[in-house]
Amino acid sequence: MIRLSTKIAVAAAGAFALAGCALLSSPDPVQTYRFGGPAAASAAAEGQTTLRQVSLRRVEFPEAVEGDRILGVTGTETAYIGGARWVSPASDLYMESLENAFSAQATRVRLIGPRELSRGELSLNIDMRAFEARYDAPGATPMVVVTARVRLLAMPERTVTAERTFTVQQPAAENRVSAIVEAFDVATRDLNTQIVGWTDANAG
């Protein structure tokens, strides 16, 4: 009995040690990235008192790309780019970049973010339809595609006063994660500049 118990104890200890090794094993390294840094300033609206107040509704992202993973698409196949993630959910990074763009570039409107308590005369609603790296073939250099449907609504009736779908396509310099992330950054800045200009033009 003693000999059997000893064998059981040794086996249990070995199993526990293996389990501990599995729990403590290092995961594959993941590099984090961001996009949409501070926007370049243009003709700022500082000092103006007649700015239209525009409330920004939280931007809706497709479920596949609203988190921190970077989506790649080849034909009808999709896969997340391995070893790379956004430092925060893509939807959060985009909201920050858009608010920065309005702050730096808008000339006729003041954007009111979702965290502010006040409400504007107009509401800016944005639905992101695509936010992905598209490949013509496996291993090819991808094209980053960002598509957003934008609507400007009069409040409180919520009647649509203007609507447009924007699409930006930005080729990556090469099929490397850093180059793909740079293409996302350029595409996002381009999209935001277009949305700011369009909102300025349609809010009057």
pLDDT in tens, 147-192: 999 999 998 888 999 999 999 999 999 999 999 999 999 999 999 9
Is pLDDT above 70 for 4? no
Residue with tokens 């090819």: 140
Could you tell me how many helices (H) and strands (E) the chain has, helices first?
Answer: 3, 8
CA distances from 91 to 68, 88, 108, 190 (A): 9, 8, 26, 17
Instruction: Give strand pairing partners of 94.
Output: none
What's the token pair of residue 194?
């277009």
What's the token pair of residue 101?
């763009």
Angle at 150 between CA 147 and CA 153, to 5 degrees: 170
Percent of residues, the chain, with pLDDT higher than 70? 80
Which pLDDT tens digit goes with each residue over 79-137? 999 999 999 999 999 999 999 999 999 999 999 988 776 778 899 999 999 999 999 99
Contact between 94 and 39 under an 8 Å Cβ cutoff? The reply is no
* Cα dihedral value 43, 54, 98, 102, nearest 10: 10
- The predicted pLDDT at position 3 comes to 45
User: Radius of gyration (Cα) for the chain, nearest Å?
Assistant: 24
Residue with tokens 């007649």: 50
